[in-house]
Amino acid sequence: MYLKIGELAARAGCLPETIRFYEQQGLLPAPGRSAGNYRLYDRSHEARLTFIRRCRSLGMSLGEVKSLLLFQDNPDQPCLGVDALVDQHMSQIQQQMAELLALQEELARLRASCRHGASVRECEILRGLATLPPAP
């Protein structure tokens, strides 16, 4: 069974441009072509696209996805590299979470400075946003 790019995109929940981009980036192999020069994708393309989309939904970079695809394409090697890549990605997520928590705390501090019923001219939130925070 072969799918045209629009059909594959619909099944994968993405745009045809996304599929072309992944092809250009070397994440998806070039598909065959029909007599009318339409791209024709098979089940292996669909499975690979699903894998890519799942990795991206977990916040992985294109570089990380490429690395995981290399591991997937060479299944006899030890999976220590996969473990290391996932550990590193989780570490990056933990760092992002810490940064987001700091942002939330700063916004809560600004919000707590608000005097309800004051005019915008007296808004402590706007004043707080107009100044730089102290350097860490």
Instruction: Report how many domains make up the chain.
Output: 1
Residue at 20 is within a domain: yes
**Per-residue confidence (pLDDT) for residue 10, from 0 to 100:** 97
Could you read off the pLDDT tens digit of each residue along the chain, which spans 136 residues? 899 999 999 999 999 999 999 999 999 999 999 999 999 999 999 999 999 999 999 999 999 999 999 999 999 999 999 999 999 999 999 999 999 999 999 999 988 888 777 788 888 888 888 987 766 6
φ/ψ region of 49 (left if φ > 0, alpha if ψ in -120 to 50, else beta) reads: alpha
Residue at 135 is within a domain: no
Domain holding 12, by residue range, is: 1-60
**Residue among 74, 31, 28, 30 nearest 51 (CA):** 28
Residue at 124 is within a domain: no
Residue at 101 is within a domain: no
Residue at 12 is within a domain: yes
pTM of the model: 0.82
Residue at 55 is within a domain: yes
CATH for 40: 1.10.1660.10
